């Protein structure tokens, strides 16, 4: 079964997104910020990461850049899931190695569509 790490400082978002991603056939884990996510990735890389941008301790953008430096850190498919909708933010995320980008609010159709576009389902 594929694995997905859900990284968001909101417990509600982690829970809602987790349920949707589980319905897509993933085993899920979560983290409250980029640092916690990075620590988990150092132990075992997930197949996918759904990550918020703005978070305390380490934001999603810094997490992505650190993740891509890890051995095999280019393997996980990273989908941003954030309220940032500025084109420049999106371009930055793609330049840093994000595979797809979700603008909040989201629903199950959007996550499924974006995971499909990223080749995850």
Partner 1 sequence: MAGALTLDASYYEALKRLTLELAGVNLGTNHAFLVETRLARLAREEGYVSLEAMIDELFKTGKTRLAVQIVSALTERDTHFFKDRTAFHNLRKHVLPDLHHKRGGGRIRLLSFGCASGQETYGMAMTVAKMGDELDGLKVDIVGVDYPSQALERARAGRYTHFDVQRGLPIQDLVDFFEPDGADWAVKQEIRDAVEFRDIHLLSKLDTLEDFHAVMFCGSLPHYSAPARVRVLRGLSGLVREHGYLILGEGENLAQMNYGFDRVLEGPGLYQKREVIIEPEIDPDAKVPTGRTTFDKSPSRKRKLAGSR
CB of 75 to partner 1, least distance (A): 20
Closest CA to 41 of 9, 80, 8, 72: 72
Q: Is 113 in the site for partner 1 (CB under 8 A)?
A: yes
Q: Is 91 in the site for partner 1 (CB under 8 A)?
A: yes
CA distance linking residue 59 with residue 3, whole number of Å: 21
Residue of 49, 106, 115, 120 interacting with partner 1 (CB under 8 A): 106
Q: Is 24 in the site for partner 1 (CB under 8 A)?
A: no
CA distance linking residue 10 with residue 116, whole number of Å: 25
- Cα angle: 17, vertex 70, 15; to 5 degrees: 10
Q: Is 43 in the site for partner 1 (CB under 8 A)?
A: no
7, containing H or E segment: strand 3-7
Q: Is 61 in the site for partner 1 (CB under 8 A)?
A: no
Which among 16-24, 56-64, 69-77, 95-103 is the span making contact with partner 1, rule CB under 8 A? 95-103
Query: Alpha carbon 36 to chain centroid distance?
Result: 13
1: number of Cβ within 10 Å: 7
Q: Is 87 in the site for partner 1 (CB under 8 A)?
A: yes
Q: Is 3 in the site for partner 1 (CB under 8 A)?
A: no
Contact residues toward partner 1 (CB under 8 A) are: 85, 87, 90-91, 94, 100-103, 105-107, 109-110, 113-114, 117
């Amino acid at each position: 079964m594929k694995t997905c790490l859900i990284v968001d400082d909101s417990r509600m978002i982690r829970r809602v997104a987790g349920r949707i991603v589980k319905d897509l056939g993933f085993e899920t884990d979560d983290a409250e910020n980029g640092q916690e996510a990075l620590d988990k990735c150092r132990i075992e890389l997930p197949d996918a990461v759904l990550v918020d941008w703005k978070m305390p301790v380490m934001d999603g953008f810094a997490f992505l850049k650190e993740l891509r430096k890890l051995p095999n850190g280019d393997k996980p498919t990273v989908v941003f899931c954030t309220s940032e909708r500025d084109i420049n933010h999106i371009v930055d995320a793609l330049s840093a190695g994000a595979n797809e980008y979700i603008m909040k609010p989201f629903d199950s159709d959007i996550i499924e569509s974006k995971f499909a576009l990223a080749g995850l389902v």
